Amino acid sequence: MTDAFILAIAILPLLYFFMYRRFSESVKGLKKLSAALEQRVLERTAQLEFSEAVHRLVLASSSDAILRTSADGEILMANPAAYWMFGYTKAELERGNISLFLPGGFEKVLVDGYARTLDGWNGHHSAPFVQAEAVTKSGKKLVVECSASECLVNSEVSFVIVMRDATERKKAEEEKNISEERLLTLIHAMTDVVYFKDGEGRWLVVNESGLKLFGLENINYRGKRDSELLPPTDFHYPALCYCEQTDKKAWEADGPTRVMEKIPRPDGSLRQFDVIKVPLYHENGERRGLVIFGRDVTDRVKWEEELKSAKEAAESATRLKDKFISLVAHDLKSPLGTMIGFIGLAGGETGTQPNDATKRLLDMAMESGTRMVGLIDELLKISRFQTGQLKLERRFFDAKSLGDKMMADYSNFARQKGVGMENAIPENSRVYGDIVLLTEAIQNLVTNAIKFCKSGDRITIFSPEKGSTTICVKDSGPGMKPEVLDKVFKFEEKTSTPGTDGEVGTGFGLPLVKNIMEFHGGTIHASCEPGEGCVFSMELPNVRPVILLVDDDRNFRLLQIQQLKDVDANVMEAENGVAALDMISTRRPHLVIADVKMPIMDGLELLKRLKGGADTKDIPVIIISGEYDMESRDKVFKMGADDFVTKNMDPVDFIPRVRRFVG
């Protein structure tokens, strides 16, 4: 027993070391493992709760109807979108059957939708949904796109079905298809050729006219470039290659292009096409396609060439006729003038006074000759208009001066007939035109008025309102009938009638006035009443003067602008001669006022350039200088300046100088 006790005492430490200690360590490890597992469970639970919250949020916010059904179609769950899409309440849908709104058989939707989902997993590219017809609670029919997937919930198989209302999109697609069909029908009915190509130049759509043009009626053209449509040996191959080249130019132009393309035909003829090419781009700038329109203009070009030749021949004949009239009129005027002179001598030579009968005959011959000279003068004036020999020399002037000249030239003549004359045009009535031609025009109107007025009548020259560019001649004479008024401005109509004292005219005066006004870009019109007189109105374009100030001193330019306010003109500014020339090239001024001393280009060099240019030499130039000596003044006048003023100019002196050129 003693031995046994000793053995037990020896074994007990060993048992503690090998068994109890290791057991204690295992218990501690198990406790740590339990705590780790508990933490993982808590984390997973939180993840599941978050996933559940996201799931519920997706269901609640989705605009698509999402349902979970059993295999026999019983609705186990539906999101809010399903309620309002089909018009049912939550209570009506839950535990209801999907056949409520899929009366055509939900099984087909489940099978086809699930099959397409599986196809998508397997890499197939069929549409991931099946289309079906649904019915709302109110009976409204919807087109829905459905997808289905299988899931296990509590060991039971169920299906998740997603449905999207595609009614409006389907309707839009149908309308788009109808529109495209109509467009294609229209394109194919067109006699013009129409092509649609993609961004790489491959043919997409071409109408029948385009196919016939290149003999492609039996060719599969889709997806091919021009050079790939036919073999190089084909007759049309070179023309197709040329089309490819012009396509490249359209892309390079980065916008619509228009070219004339000549297409050879198998019969040896050459057809000419007016071709418009329009490149289209995606929003990111990549090429989208090319639209090409071509019209056969061969016959039109031929007609235009024939018309042009005929027009040139007619114009040549007209010029020859006008030249002939001018030469004949000129050659007749000289001997007629001589003849009239001799008749005058014969009628008034002392010592050989003719008897009354002879005197009357000589007076008649003198009157006829004078009338013939007047007619020739009118023909010469008309000829200058018709042959383009006449050039307008426009400038601004006061229309009142025209009225004053008429008063000076014709008031005595009117007074002899007992006719009163008045110039009622106000001062500073600015007009822009050729003063010589406009004087001739108003002279024709005034002499006509005197011719048809009788004693006691009155003639008034006036403007309808202040600032108007219309000049009117009014008389209180016999007036004109409407049918005569329609003809008085036409050369081809003979409307000349004797005046109240038997005065005769050529009949060309009013047509000449019309020519003068049209030459100015203006109009002439008349209003007459039989027995109440006439009003003839010459309406000129309203042109506001443009003055260019050239000076490097901005403050001095501001001073000039203030002084020029009374002139009523548009004012441009330039700080040196170079800037001034650049402005003049885009907008021609009516007057240039330039300082002498400026950087880059001074006023004298600017004056030299303007007076040396064919298009600018007639622009008036006023030179401003800080030097007051006569040598400077003479220098600028010799260079062609139209006026010269000093820098300390007085507006009282300066403004009238400006008005000389801009009215």
Residue 108: its H or E element: helix 106-121
At residue 373 the predicted structure's pLDDT band, cuts being 50, 70 and 90, is low
What's residue 458's pLDDT?
92
pLDDT in tens, 331-366: 555 555 566 665 666 555 545 566 666 666 666 666
Nearest to residue 488, comparing CAs of 438, 444, 457, 453? 444
Between 280 and 504, whose confidence is greater? 280
Query: Backbone dihedral region of 268: left (phi > 0), alpha (psi from -120 to 50 degrees) or beta?
Result: left
What's residue 550's pLDDT?
93
Three-state SS string over 421-488 comes to EEECCCCCCEEEECHHHHHHHHHHHHHHHHHHCCCCCEEEEECCCCCCCEEEEEECCCCCCHHHHCCC
List Cβ neighbours of 302 (8 Å cut-off, separation of 6 or more): none
What's residue 160's pLDDT?
86
Overall residue count recorded for the chain in this entry: 663
Nearest to residue 394, comparing CAs of 127, 187, 619, 594? 619
Residue 58: pLDDT over 60: yes
**65-70: strand order across its sheet:** 75-78, 65-70, 156-165, 141-153, 130-135
Nearest to residue 594, comparing CAs of 652, 548, 545, 648? 548
Residue 432: pLDDT over 50: yes
In one letter, which amino acid is 608? K
Mean pLDDT of 602-606: 91
Percentage with pLDDT > 90 across the chain: 16
User: 363-372: which pairs have CB atoms within 8 A and are 24 or more residues apart?
Assistant: 366/340, 369/336, 369/339, 369/340, 369/343, 370/340, 371/504, 371/506, 372/332, 372/336
Q: Give per-residue burial for 181-198: e unless 16+ CB within 10 Å, then b.
A: eeeeeebeeeebbbbbbe
CA distances from 635 to 625, 627, 643, 653 (A): 12, 12, 12, 21
Q: What is the CA radius of gyration of the chain?
A: 50
Do 535 and 527 contact (CB within 8 A), yes or no? yes
List Cβ neighbours of 96 (8 Å cut-off, separation of 6 or more): 74, 75, 88
pLDDT in tens, 75-120: 888 899 988 898 988 888 877 888 888 877 666 666 665 565 555 5
At residue 13 the predicted structure's pLDDT band, cuts being 50, 70 and 90, is low
- Compute the distance between CA of residue 597 and CA of residue 627 in angstroms, rounded to an integer: 10
Residue 409: half-sphere exposure toward Cβ, Cα within 13 Å? 14
What's residue 573's pLDDT?
93
What's residue 423's pLDDT?
92
- Compute the distance between CA of residue 107 and CA of residue 120 in angstroms, rounded to an integer: 20
Cβ-based burial of 357 (10 A; exposed 0-12, middle 13-18, buried ≥19): exposed
Number of H helices, E strands in the chain: 20, 22
Do 409 and 452 contact (CB within 8 A), yes or no? no
Three-state SS string over 491-512 comes to CCCCCCCCCCCCCCCCCCHHHH
Residue 470: half-sphere exposure toward Cβ, Cα within 13 Å? 16
- Compute the distance between CA of residue 277 and CA of residue 244 in angstroms, rounded to an integer: 12
At residue 125 the predicted structure's pLDDT band, cuts being 50, 70 and 90, is very low
At residue 621 the predicted structure's pLDDT band, cuts being 50, 70 and 90, is very high
List Cβ neighbours of 430 (8 Å cut-off, separation of 6 or more): 396, 397, 398, 399, 469, 545, 568, 662, 663
Residue 363 tokens read as 């007076």
Nearest to residue 607, comparing CAs of 641, 575, 557? 641
What's residue 121's pLDDT?
47
**Arithmetic mean of pLDDT over the chain:** 80
Residue 660 tokens read as 């000389």
**257-264: strand order across its sheet:** 203-206, 193-198, 287-296, 270-281, 257-264
Residue 6: pLDDT over 90: no
Residue 291: pLDDT over 50: yes
* Of the candidate ranges 8-22, 194-208, 262-276, the one whose mean pLDDT is the lowest: 8-22
Mean pLDDT of 478-495: 74
| Three-state DSSP class for residue 528 | strand
Mean pLDDT of 290-318: 84
Nearest to residue 371, comparing CAs of 536, 494, 502, 512? 502
Residue 198: its H or E element: strand 193-198
Percent helix, strand, coil in the chain, to 5, is 50, 20, 30
What's residue 124's pLDDT?
45
What's residue 595's pLDDT?
92
pLDDT in tens, 566-579: 888 999 999 999 99
CA distances from 161 to 71, 96, 104, 131, 149 (A): 12, 15, 16, 13, 7
Mean pLDDT of 143-155: 81
Nearest to residue 646, comparing CAs of 582, 602, 596? 596
Q: Could you give phi then psi for residue 539, rounded to 5 degrees?
A: -105, 115
Do 547 and 590 contact (CB within 8 A), yes or no? yes
| Three-state DSSP class for residue 382 | helix
β-sheet bridge partners, residue 193: 294
- Compute the distance between CA of residue 341 and CA of residue 162 in angstroms, rounded to an integer: 114
